[in-house]
Amino acid sequence: MSGRRDALQRAALYVGGFLGPFGGSVVVSMLPEIGADLGVSAGQAATTVTAYLAPFAAAMLISGTLGARWGRLRTVRIAYVAYIAVSIAAALAPTLPMLLGARGLQGVANAFTTPLLLAVLAEITPRDRLGRALGMFGAMQAAGQTTAPLVGGLAAEASWRWAFVVLAAAALGLALVGLPDGIRDDSGGRAPRLRDALELRVVRVGVVALLGWGSLGGLNFLVAFRVEDDFGLGPSGRGALLTVFGVAGILTARRVGTVIDRIGARRTVLIGAVGGALLVITIGTADHLAVVVGAWFLAGIASQCVLVGINAAVLGDHGANRGGAVSVVQSFRFGGGAVVPVALTPVYSADPIAAFVVPALLLATVAPLMMPRRS
């Protein structure tokens, strides 16, 4: 009985990884329905995405450290309960400002689950198998981001509000299951400090995370622009193409983790960064749609090399505040995703090819310089 419970709790760690990106992206496919119901435009309804991601990224700068101080089991369970409450509030929101407030609180609650789940996973996994475990976590995150628009679209057929009911039910199940027993504090008996999480090595890995996500997965909007402008793809075609990136992550993240266990996190990250940069240039310049689709699929694999690799680089180091460190790195990652559309949309308007070449060059040149050798 105890073994079955342990297996269930370990599975809940991975499902918790699914919930974060799923909750962030679930509104993407139902923005017109949200706008129509709340009496605003689809463009105004799109602010529900930013309302989630901005607090999510900001809170993660400190959530890992605070969660380690308060106790990871207690913090994660309280965060799930808070997530349930604000998801129900989102489902009942009568106006856009109230929905935006609920979405912001969803992001904050999620910030107190994802990095702590990663820290727990690192604690209960032997170091020589850590890459595979983090690869599975990465696959679940990719699955959450990939399936969210589909589930949101299906929910919107009846009412967009049902999508938030689904989120509340999922969080309730995770809160009831809890985390594996015997989780200890890895701070060596002293309260974890934010100073330990913000050491130079961690910040350098965070910069790689920012570039890795911003220059690969964060370019999905540019890919959509390009295939519409140059190949005439409609909404359904663009949606199908963008899904290819996430499918690649689902299929390969665990294998990427195995590669990390064999050759190390730093080498895997650099392979993903340099290979991903070449693929991004291909996506921005190829004359055939099939080449763009194939390169976008391979970019999904390169993204997993970077993202799983940076998690392994931080969590594989027995530092004083591993939970806080991975929290900071994840904050950089999602912060990059939030900044890229603002930074590159004007570049695309001026020169579409440059909008792909610039992030590719930054990824290929800065990542090798910033990625610490001790990984």
Q: Is the pLDDT of residue 189 over 80?
A: no
Give the three-state DSSP class for 144.
helix
Helices and strands: H and E segment counts in the chain: 17, 0
Name the most confidently modeled range: 31-45, 81-95, 182-196, 237-251. Answer: 81-95
Residues 44 and 132 in one domain: yes
Q: What's the pLDDT band for 184 if we cut at 50, 70, 90?
A: low
For residue 375, tell me if it sits in a domain: no
For residue 117, tell me if it sits in a domain: yes
Query: Which of 131, 151, 177 is where one domain is finished?
Result: 177
Q: How do residues 126-139 score in pLDDT, each as one tens digit?
A: 888 888 888 888 88
Give the residue with greater pLDDT, 298 vs 50. 298
pTM beyond 0.75: yes
CA distance linking residue 222 with residue 216, whole number of Å: 10
Residues 324 and 203 in one domain: yes
For residue 188, tell me if it sits in a domain: no
Range of the domain at 92: 2-177
Residues 348 and 256 in one domain: yes
Q: Are 105 and 54 in contact (CB under 8 A)?
A: no
Q: Based on the structure, what is the number of domains in the chain?
A: 2
Residues 152 and 223 in one domain: no
Q: Is the pLDDT of residue 325 over 90?
A: no
Average pLDDT in the chain: 86
Residues 199 and 333 in one domain: yes
CA distance linking residue 310 with residue 315, whole number of Å: 9
In this prediction, residue 209 carries a pLDDT of: 95
Exposure string of 28-55, with b = 16+ CB inside 10 Å and e = fewer, is bbbbebbbebbebeeeebbebbbbbbbb
Range from 1-10, 105-114, 172-181 carrying the lowest mean pLDDT: 1-10
In this prediction, residue 187 carries a pLDDT of: 46
For residue 317, tell me if it sits in a domain: yes
Q: What's the pLDDT band for 310 if we cut at 50, 70, 90?
A: very high
Q: What's the pLDDT band for 294 if we cut at 50, 70, 90?
A: very high
Range from 83-87, 287-291, 332-336 carrying the lowest mean pLDDT: 332-336
Residues 133 and 50 in one domain: yes
For residue 189, tell me if it sits in a domain: no
- Residue 333 maps to which CATH number? 1.20.1250.20
